[in-house]
Amino acid sequence: MMFRMLVAFLTFLNHLIFLSKVKMFQKTQKIHLSKNNEKYRALMFLWDLFRPYKVWVILMLQAPILSAIFIFANNFSLKLLVDVFTNASCKSIGDAFFPICIFVLAQVGQGVSWRVSNIAEWKSEPFVKRDLLLKVYNYVQHHLPSFFQDIQTGTIVSKINGIIDAYDYILNLHHTLGRNLCIALLSVFVLIFINFYIFAFIVIWYAILICTMYPMCFELNQKSSDYAHSKHDILGIISDNIANIFSLFYFAKRKKELDRIKNIIDEKSIPKHILLEKYNFKFAFIFNALYLLMLFTVLVFLIHLKNISEITTGDIIFVLLTCITISFNLWDFVVGLSEFLKKIGDFNASFSTLMTPHNSIDIMTAKDLKLTDGSIHINDVSFQYSDNCPVFSGLNLSIKSGEKIGIVGTSGTGKSTLIYLLLKNYKINSGDIFIGKNNIKDITSDSLREQIALIPQDIVLFHRSIGENIAYGAINPSIDDIQQAAKLANIHDFIESLPHKYDTLVGERGIKISGGQRQRIAIARAFIKKASIIILDEATSSLDTITEKKIQKSISTILHQNTQTVIAVAHRLSTIRNMNRIIVMEKGVIVEDGAFKELLKNKNGYFYKLWDNQTNNMIM
């Protein structure tokens, strides 16, 4: 099996030479590689991590190499001792001084080399692991929103965890496979100094092993990768179920979901797992049979060489000790190699998270800009999602700075899509969107979003304190700023009634508080941001009527005291009656535009029909 690691090791060295000429991550932490270089990505990624700590990594890796030399020195010193004491001219212990010195120095040197390796580990490994986690997380978080709509959150987390686990195993290979490999390799090549025929005999056997086992390595690695992919998919499903655990409670579906997961495991994961274990057995069995045959033939060959006086008694002791050393390390190597291939398969499957290229929405020349003008101009904008169904075709809309705009319409008319385009969640197909005098194409998405406060319909809070969730919208706000924002959102009294007040944890996704309370915290978070543009996407939809009126009063107060541009998307038309203008949309087209009272005067208009349905045709 040593053959296989030798080939892998040489291939890895070639890759490192290639990596020294290629820069994987640019300052934006994005991967830019052609398809021809995709196979190098994992190695390039690891090399980029190790490079800042290369001195410590070299000191860490010296131990298995030197250990092989020290093992050889141990065996060689015993050979010299046997030759000395079987020599008739040996008269005192002083004649054995040289081999004894070699033996002692080997013991001391081996201990020192591994202690140096331990020091190098704590000087590099924690920081490399930190950089690994940060780079993986940073790469994932720079995907567009569509990426997270197409893949389960649990699958992403599982793959990140798979990268970390596989890295932990790979980094510690110098303690196991690296040490076994170096000892086995050196032990083979030192035989040339004892007897060339023995060396040639062993090399021929390893050539047979390489030709027999090397093709099987790739098959084992592929089966490991297939099984790892199935594990990540299952963990993604479990994570999705846990995230929606209350739906399982309310619909009494826990047993059904358990059965569903069991069926998926039985149909997709277990067959791949069985194939992997069967092939792993075949792999180890064939190697073990060849290995035992090799040991037997080596022993017969040694007896033959001693009979024809080609080697001494000390040579026999040395060769036997060397063969035993090779056998133990080779077997440990094979056992470890099986686990190594599983981890590599898991790493490759997990690394697919990083293999997914970014679809950057920012152009290369985009700049960070500070908005001073909250006016918005949408000029002849056309947009469609990947399903080739146009949402907008030549949309035009102008909003003055400081103007309060309501957007209404039935579901699917493009209201939310318009908000997504303003936030640069998607690229428009044609046309332009200007905020102030700046085309948003020329503004980086992060700097644009920093200056827009969004209050979404579906509120998700961090598993942190209420104070931290409110403060998330500003940079280093004071406690007074946090409390003032909470008062404006009509949530301060509720927070003060809690045992830990603003230090109260809201639970994962804010599950420990009600939907209305989450929404008011989100409103406070938007207030504290003090952005040039405020977007309310059904911001009061989860509130009861009394609380909604209080929130509306708070919103009206703060909006009239400031000059922010406000865009409010609403299904409940009463929430936008105080806006300067109301935009009525239908099938991606603006069908009406005017003040609330003006639109109600047109009894044949679309807005009047919406209002009439909500006020006079309520389902009782």
Domain CATH number, residue 233 = 1.20.1560.10
Cβ 53 vs Cβ 123: under 8 Å: yes
Cβ 162 vs Cβ 94: under 8 Å: no
pLDDT value, residue 10: 36
- Does residue 508 form part of some domain? no
pLDDT value, residue 505: 85
Under the banding of pLDDT at 50, 70 and 90, the label for residue 616 is low
Domain count, the chain: 1
Q: Name the nearest CA neighbour of 593 among 374, 373, 371, 378.
A: 378
Q: Is the pLDDT of residue 618 over 70?
A: no
Q: What is the mean pLDDT of residues 461-485?
A: 84
- Does residue 26 form part of some domain? yes
Q: What is the mean pLDDT of residues 552-568?
A: 70
- Does residue 374 form part of some domain? no
∠ Cα 186 188 191 (to 5°) = 105
Q: Are strands 452-455 and 430-435 parallel, antiparallel or unpaired?
A: unpaired
User: Residue 156 is part of which domain span?
Assistant: 2-355
- Does residue 348 form part of some domain? yes
Burial profile 70-107: b = 16 or more Cβ within 10 angstroms, e = fewer = bbbbbbbbbbbbbbbeeeeeeeeeeebeebeebbeebe
- pLDDT tens, 129-143? 888 888 888 888 777
Under the banding of pLDDT at 50, 70 and 90, the label for residue 283 is confident
CA dist., res. 108 & res. 116, Å (int) = 12
Q: Is the pLDDT of residue 265 over 60?
A: yes
Q: Is the pLDDT of residue 13 over 50?
A: no
pLDDT value, residue 543: 63
pLDDT value, residue 272: 87
Q: Is the pLDDT of residue 6 over 50?
A: no
- pLDDT tens, 73-97? 777 777 777 777 666 565 566 667 7
- Does residue 132 form part of some domain? yes
- Does residue 425 form part of some domain? no
pLDDT value, residue 250: 65
Q: Which two tokens stand for residue 276?
A: 């992997």
Q: Name the nearest CA neighbour of 326 among 291, 359, 286.
A: 291
Cross-sheet strand order for the sheet of 438-439: 390-399, 376-384, 430-435, 438-439
Question: In 534-603, where does DSSP find H-type helix?
Answer: 545-561, 596-601
Under the banding of pLDDT at 50, 70 and 90, the label for residue 72 is confident
Q: Is the pLDDT of residue 305 over 70?
A: yes
Q: Is the pLDDT of residue 309 over 80?
A: no
∠ Cα 60 64 69 (to 5°) = 130
From residue 94, alpha-carbon distances to 81, 88, 91, 201, 312 in Å are 11, 15, 8, 36, 22
Q: pLDDT over 90 for what percent of the chain?
A: 0
CA dist., res. 442 & res. 369, Å (int) = 9
Lowest-pLDDT range of 88-102, 201-215, 492-506? 88-102
- pLDDT tens, 399-438? 888 888 888 888 778 888 888 888 888 888 888 888 888 8
DSSP-assigned states of every residue in 450-483: HTEEEE-SS----SSBHHHHHHTTSSS--HHHHH
- Does residue 454 form part of some domain? no
CA dist., res. 306 & res. 198, Å (int) = 12
Containing 328, the helix (H) or strand (E) segment is helix 313-355
The one-letter amino acid code at 208 reads: I
Q: What is the mean pLDDT of the chain?
A: 75
From residue 336, alpha-carbon distances to 192, 219, 341 in Å are 28, 17, 9
Q: What is the mean pLDDT of residues 496-517?
A: 78
Q: Is the pLDDT of residue 23 over 50?
A: no
Beta strands in 506-616 (DSSP E): 533-537, 565-569, 581-586, 589-594
Q: Name the nearest CA neighbour of 106 among 133, 128, 79, 131.
A: 79
Main-chain phi, psi angles of 535, to 5 degrees: -115, 125
pLDDT value, residue 352: 67
pLDDT value, residue 160: 78
- Does residue 446 form part of some domain? no
Cβ 354 vs Cβ 231: under 8 Å: no
